[in-house]
Chains A and B, each alone.
Chain A
Amino acid sequence: MDQPNLTRQPIFEASQLCFVYNEQIPALDHVSMMVNSGEKLAILGSNGSGKSTLLKILDGLYFPGSGSVRAFTKILSERALRDDAFNFEFRSRVGFVFQDSDAQLFMPTVWDEVAFGPLQLGIAQAEVIKRVEAALLALHIEKISDRAPHQLSGGEKKRVALASVLSLSPEVWLLDEPSAGLDPRSAAWLIDFIHSQTTVVLATHDLRLVEAVAGRIYVIDENHRIVAEGTTREVLSNHDLLVQANLTI
């Protein structure tokens, strides 16, 4: 398990992020955090705490009402992502796996799904084919490459969702509740998969997964604020903190 190392290069720097849905429902309240290269970081919080929103902000899908995010030292904003060069660089380097695999698997077949990302980034077709074949093999889904998403089990869908991001060869993985709905074998496989990646940020309330993969943790409470940050050992041994954040009873 990796340990926090301040000499590592910062990948994301979020400062005082606030986000409100429909001008009524708060999701994040002055959240600041940092993600360094090479670390496995967990954002721990109960349902509705805002951790998925935070991941979407880090992926440039949502933009905060106030506060700022830097990705690879550059400001991450709607305007910045309109720039072709920055968009290509950012989307190539950051991969997001959604909690709901059905939202992520929108193409007619597994093969098309895995090819979608590289094709959108304008990668040459020969290279796309290579990447797709490699991703299918890496996730052991080459035999189901012609299947439609509705013909897949929950575990298979998760593998396809991961393959669809793996084909982009991202440096950083953002995983939203990756263990949700997985059977024990798939969950064990997921842990190995996360270990095999360099930089991973996962949003979850699965304490067992966090213990197995994360080196550092941020805890978000039900008031949408970060209430703790520390190593996995420090955070998971603080029972009162976990109770306060509705992560254990």
Chain B
Amino acid sequence: MSQLAQPSRLKSRSGFIERTLIDINNTLEQSLFAEKIAHKKGLLQALDARLKVIAMLMLLLAVSLSHQLVIIAGLYTGALILAAVSNISLGFFIKRVWAFIPFFTGIVALPALFITPGPALAHLPLGLVITRTGALTALFLLLRVGTSVSMATLFVLTTPWNSVLKALGVLHVPDVLILTLGMTYRYIHLLLHLANDMFLSRKSRILRRLKGTEERRLMAATSGILLGKSLQLSSEVYLAMESRGFRGYPHTMDRFQMRWFDWAAGLVVVLLTLLAIVGR
């Protein structure tokens, strides 16, 4: 396995090469970290990936259709409990889900505070009034988005990437698309390692900070080499597939097996979804 440069050592200099190396490292580390969680022993990790896809979609439906704040809050609490019993650090999980939601959803939710008609909840300077209905609408929106993102994050964190892709078969995603996505992920890793090595090799031969034009030239040259290598590799990969009998359409199989606790978990999800929808 390729050795990656340590980002902490690189942060002291903020040149173009260093920044690129840090970005590559962060990407690879995040992917390794996610895979590590997916291979931990935990409740969700033990469940069939196909069941998790369907359960996630049903729960997303329940969150969208429910008009009871308490039900959505209950589903969110459920997501937190599932994270805890799946060996995911709650601090990490909450941060990952909520880091960007206030920014993106907040922009949408903010006007609702003021423009939704209803009794006044708070008076702000400049004559702005937050209505009670507006606050409730914004809260619904934030909680719905937060709970939905939590469900999706739980699925992605507790399922190895190859199982995530294979599980898409249950939604009738074509085999050829699943295979292509899997290969893309696999070779992105390889090309990232290659790019890492190329930038490290450049860094070892550069004695001063590069000018803007030099950085752009370096970036263009590196991109060109990577593109050339990826084209060469893709043609070799195709030959390797052909050599083992591939004739244009892939034949695949999965080893998923539904066990009693998968069925039990499925039943719980169905009941929860019905409860959330009926309870609206």
Contacts and interface: CB of A to CB of B under 8 A. Distances in A.
A120 B244 contact: yes
A112 B253 CA distance: 8
B165 A108 contact: yes
Contacts of A128: 253
A91 to B, nearest CB: 4
Contact of A106 (B35, B161, B240, B255): B240
Contacts of A88: 245
Interface string A149-160: 111110000000
Interface string B207-250: 00000000000000000000000000100110111111111001
Interface stretch (A32-40, A97-105, A215-223, A230-238): A97-105
B245 A120 contact: yes
Interface in A87-129: 87-88, 91-92, 95-96, 98, 100, 102-109, 111-112, 115-117, 119-122, 125, 128-129
A148 B162 contact: yes
A91 B241 CA distance: 11
A106 B250 contact: no
A96 B247 contact: no
A115 B183 CA distance: 15
B33 interface: no
B189 A150 contact: yes
A233 to B, nearest CB: 32
B244 A115 contact: no
A164 interface: yes
Contact of B241 (A106, A109, A146, A168): A106
Contact of A116 (B162, B186, B190, B244): B244
Which residue among A88, A109, A153 has the maximum number of chain B CB atoms within 10 Å of its CB?
A109
Nearest to B246: A120
A96 B190 contact: no
A56 interface: yes
Contact of A56 (B190, B237, B239, B250): B239
Interface string B240-270: 1111111100111101000000000000000
Given A61-B239, A150-B189, A125 B244 contact: no
A172 to B, nearest CB: 12
Given A61-B239, A102-B233, A152-B1, A119 B252 contact: yes
Nearest to B193: A150
A128 B255 CA distance: 12
In terms of DSSP, what is the predominant structure of the interface of chain B?
helix
Contacts of B185: 108
Interface string A135-147: 0000000000010
A96 B242 CA distance: 10
Which residue among A91, A146, A150, A165 has the maximum number of chain B CB atoms within 10 Å of its CB?
A150
Contacts of B233: 100, 102-103
B1 A119 contact: no
Query: Interface range on chain A: under 10, 10 to 19, 20 to 34, or 35 or more?
Result: 35 or more
A59 interface: yes
B125 to A, nearest CB: 56
Nearest to B181: A108
A108 B240 contact: no
A120 B1 contact: no
B245 A117 contact: yes
Contacts of B252: 112, 119
Contact of B253 (A105, A108, A109, A115): A115
Nearest to A98: B240
Contacts of B246: 116, 120
B182 interface: yes
Nearest to B161: A108
A119 B252 CA distance: 6
A106 B230 CA distance: 13
A150 B240 contact: no
Given A108-B182, A109-B162, A111-B255, A61 B247 contact: no
Given A150-B186, A150-B190, A91 B245 contact: yes
A151 B251 contact: no
Interface of A: 56, 59, 61, 87-88, 91-92, 95-96, 98, 100, 102-109, 111-112, 115-117, 119-122, 125, 128-129, 146, 148-153, 164-165, 168
Given A59-B243, A117-B245, 6 more contacts: A61-B239, A96-B240, A100-B233, A107-B186, A120-B241, A128-B253
